[in-house]
């Protein structure tokens, strides 16, 4: 038990400590019950503490996406409530450009400065260069879903090239805010998704689905409040080699802007098809 410096005197102290405490019998049931109650409070507090990152982290486009996309991470954000998006084979009629107001129709609230990812290299798992550039992402997206692409709000940064770490594009697709990201992440696909689910699952109906090829599909949906309306849904593919391809589709053009349609133009099923496409590689 002890090291080579143990003495008889040490043994006496040990005996004293054991003899003195051996009779102590706390009410274990009370201790355990109290611990669980406190632990549950801690978990809730932790979840709230990560909520801001959560809204974005879910998509893996941590930091950037939340600040440049409508309705995520804002005060009053209410992720609960709305039914899951229904899968449709084509974008809804609401995505028609003629029905969408111009982005400048509603004033944008001042957003917090974007939490930009560091530029010190990849986040972890991926070691190779990201195979696409941020500036190419809107064009690649329209190969999958033809439509009119126009610049998003300037505050979004629109095109963010973080080298090996991440590539983000934020644009309007037929007037609807859309974000596409390709980022490196650390860890395994399952671990990554589980961690995000742990932090955000309850708030964003986040689901993780392991695919036969070892990748993980992560989907989530969030619904804004009456004060800050909007619906966002997203699909992300977490690849085995440490990449995360994410697409977020909104039913608004601006943060806190008016809803252009009841639902985003792309269903989760369509977003899933898009993120699992080979077009990105």
Partner 1 sequence: MPNPRGPDHQQEFEEFAHARAAQLYRSAWLLCGSHYQAEDLVQETLAKVYARWRRPFGRIDNPAAYAQTTLTRTFLGGKRRRSDGEQPYADVPDQAVADPATGASVRLALLQLMAELPPPDRVVLVLRYLEDLSIDEVADRMGISAGAVRNRSMRALGRIRGLADDSLRIGKD
Tell the residue number behind the tokens 């195979």, with chain if given.
131
> Which residue intervals of the chain are DSSP H helices?
8-21, 28-49, 51-57, 64-68, 137-144, 189-204, 268-275
Q: Is 32 in the site for partner 1 (CB under 8 A)?
A: yes
The binder of partner 1 chosen from 24, 75, 93, 154 (CB under 8 A): 24
Q: Is 48 in the site for partner 1 (CB under 8 A)?
A: no
Between 142 and 188, name the residue whose CB sits nearer to partner 1. Answer: 188
> Cβ(265)–Cβ(249) under 8 Å?
yes
Q: Is 14 in the site for partner 1 (CB under 8 A)?
A: yes
Q: Using the 8-state DSSP alphabet, how is residue 263 labeled?
A: S
Q: Is 112 in the site for partner 1 (CB under 8 A)?
A: no
Q: Is 21 in the site for partner 1 (CB under 8 A)?
A: yes
Q: Least distance in Å: CB of 14 to partner 1?
A: 4
Chain mean position to CA 278: 22
Q: Least distance in Å: CB of 32 to partner 1?
A: 4
Between 1 and 93, name the residue whose CB sits nearer to partner 1. Answer: 1
Q: Least distance in Å: CB of 5 to partner 1?
A: 7
Q: Least distance in Å: CB of 22 to partner 1?
A: 8
Rounded CA separation 188/141 (Å): 26
Rounded CA separation 85/219 (Å): 11
Q: Least distance in Å: CB of 188 to partner 1?
A: 9
Q: Is 109 helix (H, G, I), strand (E, B) or coil?
A: coil
Q: 208 Cβ partners below 8 Å, 6+ apart? A: 190, 193, 194, 196, 197, 216, 217, 218
Site string for partner 1, 146-185 (x = CB under 8 A): ----------------------------------------
Q: 131 Cβ partners below 8 Å, 6+ apart? A: 182, 280, 281
Interacting positions 180-209 with partner 1 (CB under 8 A): 187, 190-191, 194-195, 198, 208
**Positions that interact with partner 1 (CB under 8 A):** 1-3, 5, 9-10, 12-26, 28-32, 34-43, 46, 187, 190-191, 194-195, 198, 208, 210
């Amino acid at each position: 038990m002890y090291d080579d410096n143990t003495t008889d005197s040490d043994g006496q102290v040990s005996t004293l400590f054991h003899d003195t405490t051996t009779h102590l019998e706390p009410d274990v049931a009370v201790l355990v019950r109290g611990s669980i109650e406190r632990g549950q409070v801690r978990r809730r507090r932790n979840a709230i503490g990560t909520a801001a990152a959560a809204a974005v982290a879910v998509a893996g486009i941590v930091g950037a996406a939340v600040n440049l996309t409508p309705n995520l991470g804002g005060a009053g954000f209410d992720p609960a409530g709305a039914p899951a998006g229904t899968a449709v084979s084509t974008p809804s009629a609401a995505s028609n450009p003629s029905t969408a107001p111009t982005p400048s129709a509603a004033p944008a609230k001042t957003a917090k400065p974007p939490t930009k990812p560091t530029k010190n290299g990849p986040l972890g798992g991926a070691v190779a260069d990201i195979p696409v550039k941020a500036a190419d992402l809107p064009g690649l997206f329209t190969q999958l879903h033809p439509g009119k692409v126009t610049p998003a709000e300037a505050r979004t940064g629109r095109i963010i090239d973080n080298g090996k770490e991440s590539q983000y594009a934020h644009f309007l697709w037929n007037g609807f805010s859309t974000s596409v990201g390709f980022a490196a992440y650390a860890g395994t696909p399952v671990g990554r998704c589980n961690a995000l689910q742990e932090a955000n699952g309850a708030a964003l109906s986040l689901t993780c689905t392991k695919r036969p090829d070892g990748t993980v599909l992560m989907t989530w949906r969030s619904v804004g409040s009456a004060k800050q309306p909007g619906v966002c849904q997203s699909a992300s593919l977490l690849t085995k080699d440490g990449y995360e391809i994410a697409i977020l589709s909104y039913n608004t053009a601006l943060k806190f802007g008016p809803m252009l349609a009841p639902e985003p133009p792309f269903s989760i099923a369509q977003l899933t098809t898009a993120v699992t496409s080979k077009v990105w590689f």
